[in-house]
Structure 1
Amino acid sequence: MIKFENVIAKAVNGREILVSVVPSKKMQSTREGFEWVEVGKKVLLQSGVEIELNLDGRSFYTGIHEMFRLESRVC
């Protein structure tokens, strides 16, 4: 069973949501064929929607003008 790290994300207005940090995987071509490789992290909302992190590695948008920030950078 795969376990994900649950963290709290906070908005500027004080709103908090619980999200899970999940790996972002892409298909890569190799000499032996294709394989899945981890290329970063995403956040998984409680509704089941996966959202890519911004370039800073700790913030994401759930909608227009709705930016949430994680406590620390996700590696």
Structure 2
Amino acid sequence: MENLSNLIAKSANGTEIQVSLIPLKKMQNTRNGLKSIEVGKRVLLQSGIVVDLNLDGRTFYTELNQLFKFNFKIC
């Protein structure tokens, strides 16, 4: 798998930003109690802001009408 700490995302106007991926974890109830399960990924911007990936698994918005895209799908 790709290195998930320093990825480059590009926007349609050519702007590039460096981001990191962090796990999106949810709590699942089991017979033995609660367990933390990774259900996806989130994007951590250099400014410290955390944003969610879109459902397609390769795009995200940093602000209104500012779409960034990876060259590959994040699983």
Same fold (TM over 0.5): yes
Offset of 1:39 from its aligned partner?
A: 0.1
Partner in structure 1 of residue 58 of structure 2: 58
Offset of 1:13 from its aligned partner?
A: 0.4
Which letter maps to 1:58? R
Unaligned stretches of 5+ residues in structure 1:
none
Q: What is the alpha-carbon root mean square deviation over aligned residues?
A: 1.3
Identity of aligned residues (%): 53
Offset of 1:30 from its aligned partner?
A: 0.7
Partner in structure 1 of residue 46 of structure 2: 46
Q: Give the 4+ runs in structure 1 shifted more than 3 A.
A: none
Alignment of 1:8-23 (within 5 A): 8-23=8-23
Q: TM-score, normalised by structure 1?
A: 0.91
Aligned length: 73
Partner in structure 1 of residue 6 of structure 2: 6
Offset of 1:73 from its aligned partner?
A: 0.4
Q: TM-score, normalised by structure 2?
A: 0.91
Deviations 1:38-59 (A, max 9, x none): 0011111011111110010000
Distance (Å, rounded) in 1 between the aligned partners of 2:65 and 2:4: 27
